[in-house]
Structure 1
Amino acid sequence: MKDPQAAYWDGIGATKTFTHPLNPDWLAGWSRNARVLDYGCGYGRVMAELSAHGFRDLVGADPSAALIARGRRLRPDLRFTVLSSPALAYPSGSFDLVVLFAVLTCVPDDAAQREIVTELDRVLAPGGLLYVSDLLLQDDPRNRARYAAHARQSGARYGVFATGDGAVCRHHDVAYLRALLSDFELVDELLIDVATMNGNPSRAVQLLVRKR
Structure 2
Amino acid sequence: MSTSWQAEEVAAGFEAYDDLPERRIGYPFVFETLGIGDPAVTRVLDYGCGPGKVAERVVGACTSTVVAVDSSPAMLGIARRQRPHPRIDYRLVHDERLAFLPDDSVDAAMCCYVFINIGSLDRIGRIAAEIHRVLRPGGRYAVLDTNPNTTGVRFSTFRSGDPGRRYAPGQRRRVLLYRPDGHTLELIDHHWPPSTYHHVLAEAGFGGITTHQPLWEGGHGPEDELAEGNERRNPPFLIVTGEK
Same-fold call, TM cutoff 0.5: yes
Quick one: distance in 1 between partners of 2:207 and 2:135?
A: 13
Q: 1:36 aligns with which of 28, 36, 44?
A: 44
Unaligned ranges ≥5, structure 1: 152-156, 195-199
Q: 1:101 aligns with which of 109, 112, 127?
A: 112
Quick one: distance in 1 between partners of 2:173 and 2:49?
A: 22
C-alpha contact 1:136 1:172 (8 A) present in aligned 2: no
C-alpha contact 1:163 1:169 (8 A) present in aligned 2: yes
Correspondence for 1:160: 172
1:36 is displaced (CA, Å) by 0.9
TM-score by length of 2: 0.69
1:55 is displaced (CA, Å) by 3.3
Unaligned ranges ≥5, structure 2: 154-161, 177-184, 217-229
Higher alpha-carbon deviation: 70-79 or 166-175: 166-175
The residue correspondences of 1:114-153 to structure 2 (distance < 5 A) are 114-137=125-148, 138-140=150-152, 142-145=162-165
1:136-170 CA distances to partner (integer Å, 9 max, x unpaired)? 2235482553x65xx7xxxxx46432457674311
Q: 1:47 to 1:140 in 2, by over 3 A?
A: closer
Q: Identity, % of aligned pairs? A: 22
Quick one: distance in 2 between partners of 1:158 and 1:82?
A: 25
Quick one: distance in 2 between partners of 1:173 and 1:4?
A: 19
Correspondence for 2:4: 5
Q: What letter matches 2:56 in structure 1?
A: A
Correspondence for 2:211: 189
Q: What letter matches 2:214 in structure 1?
A: I
1:169-188 CA distances to partner (integer Å, 9 max, x unpaired)? 11321122112112312264
Quick one: distance in 1 between partners of 2:197 and 2:111?
A: 12
Quick one: distance in 2 between partners of 1:29 and 1:6?
A: 31
1:123 is displaced (CA, Å) by 1.0
Secondary structure, in 3 states, of the residue corresponding to 2:102? coil
C-alpha contact 1:186 1:207 (8 A) present in aligned 2: no
Secondary structure, in 3 states, of the residue corresponding to 2:214? strand
C-alpha contact 1:22 1:46 (8 A) present in aligned 2: no
Question: How many pairs align?
Answer: 196
Task: Tell me the C-alpha RMSD between the 2 structures.
Answer: 2.9
Q: What letter matches 2:236 in structure 1?
A: R
Correspondence for 1:205: 238
